Every structure is written in structure tokens, then in C-alpha cells.
Chains A and B, each alone.
Chain A
Amino acid sequence: GDSVTQTEGQVTVSESKSLIINCTYSTTSIAYPNLFWYVRYPGEGLQLLLKVITAGQKGSSRGFEATYNKETTSFHLQKASVQESDSAVYYCALGEAGNTRKLIFGLGTTLQVQP
């Protein structure tokens, strides 16, 4: 079946430094899946950060960017300069092709931004 891998369980970055959170995916479908980054801020629910539905395209939101790379099957999340308010748990997800489009999530990466 389809799967999503986030290699880092926790990342600590100093404020104003750059960030990259790794995400790779695997799919058995011949169709390219939709890719998502969801975020859960402390005390809040899971919310969409950005999504990309076309291979080769880049999505962006709140200063974060992610490029859908079908050659490397990756969808890494990047930000040039993080803020303390970016501290949260970030989930990479794949939307399965087919009749359901259910989401397959990675285990999540906890980002701690130090002032």
C-alpha cells in the first residue's frame, strides 16, 4: 500500500534560521497522488498548511514551501527563516488516488523553535 516517511521525529531550530523537514512517499498507484502538509499548533486542531496536486509544482503558505518531486518521490517542507510561533507538529500526507482519496500520514515532526 501507499506510505509516507518523515525521518525526523523532532527538530530544534533557532529563531531566524532556515528549516527543512524531510518527507518521502511511496505509492502503488499509476496516478500521481496529491501531497499535503498539515500542522497542529499547541492546543489547536490539525489544519492544512499547504497542498500540491501536480507533480513538479511548488506550494507555499505562511512562508513555508514544498515542491512535489516525482523523481525522488519527495515533498520536503522548507522555510527560510523560522519564528517561535512556527513551533508545532508537522505532518506530511498523501491523498490516495481512487474512490476514497483518504489521507496517508507520516508520523509527524515536532518543530521546536528556540528564541
Chain B
Amino acid sequence: NAGVIQTPRHKVTGKGQEATLWCEPISGHSAVFWYRQTIVQGLEFLTYFRNQAPIDDSGMPKERFSAQMPNQSHSTLKIQSTQPQDSAVYLCASSLGLGDTQYFGPGTRLLVL
């Protein structure tokens, strides 16, 4: 089992550019979560999919951030017009079902210059 796969591992963008982050959950897992980690705020929930359907995006910034899960094998987090404050490690996690243990990917470190 390869675990949760996230690509790229590192991304540097200029202010105002778009960034797309990819996540491949563990095969057979129906739940996919996105979190963001910064020094100041720590680990924060962004959004959650179950069986590819968006269930809870209460942690997503209202502007510029969007997430999709077009099929069961991958999810994307897109940030439009990136700003320096978007710099963070973005973590994807998957779980077998509701309430089951969440397994985390290695994260994508995003740096916005």
C-alpha cells in the first residue's frame, strides 16, 4: 500500500499565480480531507469529500480556494491568485469511512513569493 500520495512535494509560485495541488487517497478509502499547516495557526481543516461528493468546506477561505474530487482516485486543491499568506504545508488525508482513522500524505509545501 503506497499510502496517500501528494504531488508536488514542493511548489514555489509568484504572487498572483495559480497553484494546483494533487492528492491520491489510499485505494478503497471513501473519505478525503484537506488540511493546511502554518507556524501560527497550526493544522487547520479545509474541506472534506465522501464518495467524491463535497460534504464540508467550512474551513476553506471563501475566495480563491476551491477543491474538487472528479474521481475516487484523486482530489485537487486549487488556489487562484496566490498570496504570500497562502504559504503553508497542505496535507491530504484519507480514511476508510466516516470516523475511521485518517492517514496523512507527506504534504505539499507551498511558498508564494
Task: Report whether B101 and A102 are in contact in the complex, using a CB–CB cutoff of 8 Å.
Answer: no
- A13 close to chain B: CB less than 8 A: no
A34 to B100, CA, bound (A): 10
Q: Given the complex of chains A and B, what is the CA–CA distance between A47 and B101 in angstroms?
A: 10
- Over the window 88-100 of chain B, the binary record of Cβ atoms lying under 8 Å from chain A Cβ atoms (1 yes, 0 no) is 0001000000110
Distance between A36 CB and nearest chain B CB, rounded to angstroms: 8
Interface size class of B (residues with CB under 8 A): 20 to 34
The residues of B that contact A95 with a CB separation of less than 8 Å are: 99
CB-based contact B98/A107 at 8 Å: no
Point out the residues of chain A lying under 8 angstroms from B35, CB to CB.
103
User: Quick check: is A104 within 8 A (CB to CB) of the other chain?
Assistant: yes
Q: Can you list 28 A-B pairs, Cβ within 8 angstroms, ordered by A? A: A38-B104, A45-B3, A45-B104, A45-B105, A45-B107, A46-B91, A46-B107, A47-B103, A48-B101, A48-B103, A91-B43, A95-B99, A99-B56, A99-B98, A100-B48, A100-B55, A100-B56, A101-B98, A101-B99, A102-B48, A102-B56, A102-B59, A103-B33, A103-B43, A103-B102, A104-B45, A105-B44, A107-B42
Q: Indicate if the CB atoms of B104 and A46 lie closer than 8 Å.
A: yes
In chain B, positions 31-54 with a C-beta closer than 8 Å to chain A are: 33, 35, 42-45, 48
Contacts of B48 in A (CB 8 A): 100, 102
**Which of B48, B59, B102 is the most central at the interface, judged by chain A CB atoms within 10 Å of its CB?**
B102
A51-B104 in contact given A100-B55, A103-B45 (Cβ < 8 Å): no
Task: Report the nearest B residue to A108, measured CB to CB.
Answer: B42
A105 with B42: in contact, given A46-B104, A51-B101 (CB under 8 Å)? yes
How many angstroms from the CA of A38 to the CA of B106 in the assembled complex?
14
